[in-house]
Amino acid sequence: MDQRRIMVVEDHAQTRELLQYNLQAAGYEVRTAGGGEQGLDAMARWRPDLVLLDIMLPELDGLEVCRRLKQAPALRSVPVIMLTARSEEVDRVVGLELGAEDYVVKPFSPRELLLRIKNALRRAGAESVNVDDTWRFEGLVLNFAAHELEVDGEKRQLTATEHRLLKELVQARGRVLSRDHLLDTVWNTDFEGASRTVDTHMRRLRAKLDTYAECIETVRGVGYRFKS
C-alpha cells in the first residue's frame, strides 16, 4: 500500500519538526510549510491525503488557508485538522464551519493527534455499506465515490465534510438524525457550541441541491431528515 501523504503547515520550526518526526515514525509521507501561501502552493503541486494546519500563521492565517483549500476543486475533498493554541469555542466553530474535519488544541499529545489523523483518514476513505457509489432520485444524482452530485444534469462538487454529511443523511433517509449524532459521526466532536456548524453545512448542502433543497427537512428541536 502506498504511504498516506500528510501536509503540515506550521510556522513554529520546533513544532513543525516534531510533527514531521512523529508522522514519519508512524509511516506517513510528510511535507511541511512554514506559511499559508507556501502551504497552498505545495498542496496544489503535491496533493496530500490530509492537512495539519496551524491557525496562527503569518500573513495568511490558517482559517483563510482552509477557506481557499475548500474552494479549490482539486483539494476540497482533502480532510483538514486544525492546530491551534487558542481554546476559545469561537475559533473551533469557525474552523469547522470553513470545512475543517477536526481540531487539536496545543499543547497536544502526539499519540492523540495520530489517532485523530487515523480516524480522519478512515472517515474520508470509508466505503458506504448501505448506499451504492451512485444514488439517484428524479433529477438528483449523488456520486459518493467522486464526491459529486448532479442536479438536473449540472455537476456540483462536494467537500469531504459535505460528502460525509450527505451520505449520512441518505443512508438514514426517512429517519431524523439529531445534531449531536451528526457532530459525532461526521465531525467526531461533541462540544456544545459546534451545533451551529451542522446548520451552516446544511444551508450549503441545500444551496448545492438547488431545486431539491427541500429533500433535506429540518425537524425543529430534533435535527434533520433526508426525504425522497
- Please give the domain boundaries of the chain with CATH numbers for all domains: 5-125 (3.40.50.2300), 134-226 (1.10.10.10)
Listed in order, strand segments (DSSP E) in 12-96 are 29-33, 50-54, 80-84
Res 187 pLDDT > 90: no
What does the pLDDT read at residue 87? 62
How far apart CA 177 and CA 67 sit, in angstroms, is 27
What does the pLDDT read at residue 93? 76
Cell numbers representing residue 197 in the block:
456548524
**What is the average per-residue pLDDT within 79-103?**
80
How far apart CA 140 and CA 138 sit, in angstroms, is 6
188, 119 in Cβ contact below 8 A? yes
Share of residues in the chain with pLDDT > 90 (%): 31
**What is the average per-residue pLDDT within 111-136?**
72
